[in-house]
Amino acid sequence: MGQLEDMSMFVRVVDAGSITKAAAQLDIAKSAVSRRLKDLETRLGTQLVNRTTRKSNLTEAGEHYYQQAQRILGAVNALNEQTSGVKTHIEGTVKMTAPLSFGLMHLSELIDEYANDYPKLTFELDFSDRQVDLVEEGYELAIRIGELQNSSYQARRLTRIRFVICASPSYLSERGTPKNMQDLANHTFLHYSLRKDSDLELIDEQGNKHHIPTHSKMKANNGQFLIEMAVKGHGIVFMPTFIAYETLARGELVPILQQYQLPIMNAYAIYPKSRFLSQRCRLLIDFLAEHLGDEPYWDNLL
């Protein structure tokens, strides 16, 4: 192994947080990673990592080497990509995570088109609503919806995410259509369980925000399931339009309380600041932003 390979391996150990996790991400034996790290320290004549039974911490020399190694590896990757710079050289694995419903409903055709444009690429995709630690789990890219709070990530906005309050015609016929926010106290809701609370935020015509407590009949961690339950008449649902748009277009769900403004979020592509972003992922981000846009197609169908 050359110095660049050992340098890359060392950065992976630091990013992953342990030799064990780095070995799993690299798909090599833990003993091989330990040996290469030891060989690197021997060659440099200094200890880079303080190892204990539970965790490993960088020494002062290790921290300096890590920072410089990131800069050097990023420069080498950029030089290689700029020199090749043609479609046939876009290769490697896109390891990406995205929200479950968003990924299944809106990324399939886009990933298909992108994969056809760059046939040498392979893909490893995780569709899940859990908050994946990109560095620890070895993902290069993620799509996230909502407010971004982790300052260790770079982010690019892909599209706007709008919400709708809706219910089935059968539910509204039986329970009555709420005319204002006070009426919501007499209705049941289907809640997305990964939200922090079940309050509904509404903005009135004067621009005042109101947080309305709601009664939950069902909770689930998947929006498509909740939409199906709403169609069957089990309650009112507060959902992103990218999930609800088809049932709204077919009239299976009906929007309510449209005089109020609902929160608007954004979908972002995020990636760790500490890592050089490959050209395959930079081009994918550009591709997604261009095809989704500020007015995504699902909102234009409503």
Cα 293 from Cα 296, distance rounded (Å) = 6
pLDDT digits (tens, 9 = 90+) for 205-244: 898 999 999 999 999 999 999 999 999 999 999 999 999 9
Q: Where are the domains of the chain?
A: 3-84, 87-160+265-300, 163-255
- H or E element in which residue 216 lies: strand 215-220
Contact 66, 135 (CB under 8 A): no
pLDDT digits (tens, 9 = 90+) for 235-294: 999 999 999 999 999 999 999 999 999 989 999 999 988 677 888 899 999 999 999 998
Query: Is the pLDDT confidence value at 81 over 70?
Result: no
- Listing DSSP states for 20-60 in one string gives HHHHHHHTS-HHHHHHHHHHHHHHHTS--EEE-SS-EEE-H
- What are the percentages of helix, strand and coil residues in the chain, rounded to 5? 45, 25, 30
Residues 6+ apart with CB under 8 A from 21: 136, 138
* Percent of the chain surpassing pLDDT 70: 94
Residue in 115, 112, 140 with CA at minimum distance from that of residue 126: 140
- Superfamily of the domain at 163-255: Periplasmic binding protein-like II (3.40.190.10)
pLDDT digits (tens, 9 = 90+) for 33-51: 888 888 888 888 889 888 7
- 87-160+265-300 and 163-255 in the same fold: yes
Query: Is the pLDDT confidence value at 85 over 60?
Result: no
Lowest mean pLDDT, pick from 153-162, 181-190, 269-278: 269-278
CATH architecture of 87-160+265-300: 3-Layer(aba) Sandwich (3.40)
Lowest mean pLDDT, pick from 28-32, 63-67, 100-104: 63-67
> What pLDDT is recorded for position 57?
79
Average pLDDT over residues 114-138: 90
> What pLDDT is recorded for position 33?
87
Task: State both tokens at 294.
Answer: 């500020």
Q: What is the pTM of this model?
A: 0.74
Domain 3-84 class, CATH top level: mainly alpha
Work out the mean pLDDT of the chain and round it to a whole number.
88
Confidence category of residue 1, pLDDT binned at 50, 70, 90: low
Residues 6+ apart with CB under 8 A from 170: 233
- H or E element in which residue 288 lies: helix 279-292
Contact 37, 13 (CB under 8 A): yes
Contact 167, 121 (CB under 8 A): no
Contact 237, 189 (CB under 8 A): yes
Going by their DSSP bridges, the two strands 92-98 and 121-127 should be labelled as parallel
Task: State both tokens at 125.
Answer: 């995709």
> What pLDDT is recorded for position 155?
93
